[in-house]
Chain A
């Protein structure tokens, strides 16, 4: 992307951005202008031509406005059989009128909380999309969960997106979870149009001592979406953070996931399933930072790629000098269903402590034709047989979902994609 476009991008976005968090926005703008959008020469974006994609798909850049939603739209978008509280957003703006009041926790729009230390977890200098979001975010959301608060039902963040005239959707989410508290989030997008749009999202989560946080993201908005997101979490001693990504569609999706294990005995789990077809590209960049001893991280990503789809997995584990007795595991397994599908997978381990257990592995394979024939020879139709085998491949990741109703829903989505029903 040319320098001119880069300037225009920020100018257009910046002049129309909300007039709050002025200093932070100025800082973000300055950093972004010095960084620019990443070209493919940038190591972190080598396989993900985001700048080119934006240039092609979107001609003008303005901050998106909130949509006027109807109760019906919200109802229709709700997960079948979902049991939990719902917070509704459109183009990054919160809609309290459609959202549940959740007793015991604070949910506010960000501009009402001007002292929120946004950018302190997801630092703007790390990635141009972070600085861009910091400069231009719409009025996002602030969620605060007090100490010793057990939230039994999951909280659904339901995002409606619709792009008009090259608007850029820039949601910002801040979540703080008090000591000893437990909470589960599910985030799902819902597209109201069919023209391409760009979402540049940042989620920051602060987890207190012995808190338990899980965050699920379901990405199935359609193939018109270009999305870059940053989910970045700090957790303290004895805390546990679990993320789960189900990526089913998208023109180009880049998921940056960073986890800082800031206390001893903390646990980080990062799970992901990509099930792609058409020309979708989904890029998972994960980063775990082991700062303190006796912490553990488990990472398991599986991908199935058909047609011309592409996947990128880049998993970095950093074990600092003080992080003795660290257990860190990482696994990325992939199945390519067509000659034209592609996966670039790269583990990166950087270990400075000398008493740790770390392992990583990645595999790329194809569907086992012998197994397929075996199932067919027992009377199982080919599509079902394929689905059965592919589901078996990812079942290990699906089994990590703790909430039964959510797991059921995710299985339904996967089975729809695989074109068959085989697990009841």
Chain B
């Protein structure tokens, strides 16, 4: 589904990603972990098409298409969804109105008829239950005055509405208490299917107790330096990142 080859990206001339290789197949959940500043969020942003990042080398193929050639909106329409680490507050735009615009533009791109108000509302009701989000919240301005947990739940709600093929969760666990974490993870798990894939970017193992990954990758200094099963995450939780850093630094020294 997603194939990243030798991806290099920089921001304002500073290289952040220095040769990422990653293969994600349908039905898989990949976790990307790593210490602060290793490039986790940059990877998520580059995949979603944030303009500040300049891709200097490499390619990303998503379902046979050159992802990096597409505008952010076309990536979303092709089925890429980024759950933001810091969801933006947009005064004056209600979640409902915004989502209806988004969903209908996506449907138009895919050659589907737009949803009328009635069908849209019933779809919304169905998806609201998934993340236990209140309708009152959705008629308010997008994320404005929402708590941290409400914002993250709203992200997963949007994901449920837009039914992406590849979801990238950027530190979705940050700022969540245990209850919110459980609700958000439940939502993500219910949306999983053999034809969709998920990339979970996280700093902590905690989230992976709820969203169980098939593969865990460790990102360090802009490269994936280690990949393994879900047990790798547990090991990281116990031992921290220092041993990985040492391994990488020793390898560098001997090279």
Name A residues whose Cβ lies closer than 8 Å to a Cβ of B.
368, 370-371, 373-382, 384-385, 388-389, 391-393, 395-396, 422-423
Contacts and interface: CB of A to CB of B under 8 A. Distances in A.
Nearest to B107: A379
Given A370-B88, A374-B88, A380 B93 contact: no
B88 A378 contact: no
B49 A388 contact: no
A60 B25 CA distance: 76
B102 A374 contact: no
Contacts of A377: 48-49, 72-73, 75-76, 81-82, 84
Contacts of A388: 93, 98, 101
B51 A422 contact: no
16 contacts: A370-B88, A373-B50, A375-B102, A376-B49, A376-B71, A376-B73, A377-B48, A378-B76, A378-B162, A379-B76, A379-B109, A381-B73, A388-B98, A389-B90, A392-B93, A393-B92
A379 B162 contact: yes
B105 A384 contact: yes
B71 A379 contact: no
Given A376-B71, A377-B72, A389-B93, 4 more contacts: A368-B88, A379-B102, A388-B98, A422-B101
Nearest to B92: A392
Interface in B79-134: 81-82, 84, 87-88, 90-93, 97-99, 101-103, 105-106, 109
A371 B50 contact: no
A308 to B, nearest CB: 25
Contact of A384 (B82, B99, B101, B109): B101
B73 A380 contact: yes
A237 to B, nearest CB: 36
Contacts of A392: 90-93, 141
Dominant secondary structure of chain A at its interface with chain B = helix
B91 to A, nearest CB: 6
B158 interface: yes
A373 B44 CA distance: 13
B8 interface: no
B77 interface: yes
Closest 3 CB pairs of A and B: A392-B92, A379-B76, A376-B72
A389 B72 CA distance: 17
Dominant secondary structure of chain B at its interface with chain A = helix
B209 to A, nearest CB: 28
Contacts of B84: 374, 377
A22 B200 CA distance: 83
A375 B158 CA distance: 11
Contacts of B101: 380, 384, 388, 422
Contacts of A384: 101, 105
Nearest to B90: A371
A422 B105 contact: no
Contacts of B91: 392
Nearest to B50: A373
B240 to A, nearest CB: 32
Contacts of A376: 49, 71-73, 76
A395 B92 contact: yes
Contacts of A382: 71, 73
Interface residues of B, number: 31
A269 B54 CA distance: 49
B109 A396 contact: no
B88 A371 contact: yes
B204 to A, nearest CB: 24
Contacts of B93: 388-389, 392
A370 B103 CA distance: 20
B159 to A, nearest CB: 10
Contacts of B99: 378
A422 B91 CA distance: 15
A244 B239 CA distance: 66
A374 B90 contact: yes
Nearest to A370: B88
Q: Which of A370, A392, A396, A422 has the most CB of B within 10 A?
A: A392
A377 B98 CA distance: 12
Contacts of B72: 373, 376-377
Contact of A381 (B87, B92, B105): B105
Q: Which of B49, B72, B90 has the most CB of A within 10 A?
A: B72
Interface string B118-160: 0000000000000000000000010000000000000000100
A379 B159 CA distance: 12
Q: Which of A381, A382, A384, A396 has the most CB of B within 10 A?
A: A381
A288 to B, nearest CB: 27
Contacts of B77: 379
B92 A396 contact: yes
A422 to B, nearest CB: 6
A333 to B, nearest CB: 12
Contacts of A373: 50-51, 72
A376 B50 CA distance: 10
A224 B141 CA distance: 39
A257 B87 CA distance: 42
Nearest to B48: A377
Interface string B154-195: 000010001000000000000000000000000000000000
A384 B97 CA distance: 13
Contact of B105 (A380, A389, A393, A396): A380
Contact of B102 (A380, A389, A395, A396): A380
Nearest to A382: B73
A375 B98 CA distance: 8
Contacts of A381: 73, 105
A378 B88 CA distance: 12
Contacts of A370: 88
B83 to A, nearest CB: 10
